[in-house]
Structure 1
Amino acid sequence: MLITIENPNYENFEYPNATGYVKFLDTVVGQVPIVGELVPPRSQINVNTSANFMVSKLINDPNFLSDFLSGIVNFTSTASLPGKAHMLKIIKFKATVYSLCDISINITSRNVDSNCISKIKL
């Protein structure tokens, strides 16, 4: 999968390796490794990664089969990227980016729709 990380600020943002999580209802069913990067100011980068799903957790959830048979399966993904913002290449301060995505997979059409909200905490 391709994850786009956007930095709308006027400083570089650098974060170490992190892990995102995919949930079905309230159960974590997947992990997404996110490689650490430097995101230049007012730009975005694309990070290639893959989700490691725990299929047994999905199959054992009593709601999964009914959702699957209905043709649409909904997931949420969360990630937090703690890192450092660089100002004027001299000053560094801690910042954390939080992301929450609603992901809807249409089994019949094989379409994936996602809606994400990101916030930064300094």
Structure 2
Amino acid sequence: MKGEGNRNKAKCLVYIAAFVLVQMAIIVAFSLTVMRIKSLKVQFGAVSVKSMSTINTTTVPSFNMRLMTQFTVKSTNFGHFKYGNSTVTLLYGGTPVGTAVIPMGRAKARQTRKVNIAIDISSDQLSSDTNLGNDINSGVLILTSEARLSGKVHLMKIIKKKKSGRNELHHSN
């Protein structure tokens, strides 16, 4: 009789251990398939010109503009993404003509965070480029944008993984 009680306790412990192992296997399988951490999607929305001035002389053509845009950070993960201050740079012909700060923030899980930013651009940094005068005359100014957000994805307040989102677009105004 005395040995039978110990056998029941041992069986109970084996069942508890098996249950814990099965639960851990389910959690690991779930985290490796459904909870896989993906890169973020960083995009510009519509860009509108708030103010613009151009000077097209034969010696030094120039432009000054203030652009308003909606910058979106899309988190496709099951955890939120916290990112620090970042910058977006607009380039003309590979030369930076304007930068703006993207303030630190948080994109919630499986949602898109929208941030309105204003970017002042100027041709002051450009060398005497013969294409600038032609582009101003044609009314089309081809700009390239670069932005990179770095931060951490937080899953269930347990898993934290560094991720970044990158944006490279061509705009014409």
State the TM-score, normalized to the length of structure 1. 0.78
Q: Which of 99, 123, 128 pairs up with 1:55?
A: 123
* Paired residue type of 1:33: V
Corresponding position of 2:111: 43
* Deviation of the 1:9 alpha carbon: 1.9
For the residue of structure 1 that corresponds to 2:151, the secondary structure is strand
* Displacement of 1:59: 7.8
The equivalent of 1:64 in structure 2 is 132
Unaligned ranges ≥5, structure 1? 106-122
Counterpart CA distance in 2 for 1:44 and 1:59 is: 39
TM-score (norm 2): 0.56
Shift of 1:88: 0.9
- Cα separation, 2, equivalents of 1:102 and 1:37: 25
Structure 2 CA distance for aligned equivalents of residues 24 and 92 of structure 1 = 37
SS, match of residue 118 in structure 2: coil
Partner residue in 1 for 2:152: 84
- How far off is 1:23 after superposition? 0.5
For residue 41 of structure 1, give the secondary structure of its aligned residue in structure 2.
coil
Q: Aligned pairs, how many?
A: 105
Note the alpha carbon deviations across 1:24-57, whole angstroms, 9 max, x for none: 0110111021001100111111112111323313
Q: 1:50 to 1:60 in 2, by over 3 A?
A: farther
User: Are residues 1:9 and 2:111 paired?
Assistant: no
- Cα distance in structure 2, aligned partners of 1:76 and 1:50: 16
For the aligned residue pairs, the C-alpha RMSD in angstroms reads 1.6
Q: Please tell me the residue identity of whatever aligns with 2:154.
A: H
2:134 counterpart SS class? helix
Q: Is the 8 A contact 1:19 1:32 kept in 2?
A: yes
- Contact preservation (8 Å) 1:59, 1:65: no
1:104 aligns with 2:172: yes
* Amino acid paired to 1:7: S
Structure 1 or 2: more helix by fraction: 2
Q: Percent identity?
A: 31
Which has the greater radius of gyration? 2
Equivalent in 30, 54, 60 of residue 98 of structure 2: 30
Distance in structure 1 (CA, Å) of the matches to 2:115 and 2:126? 26
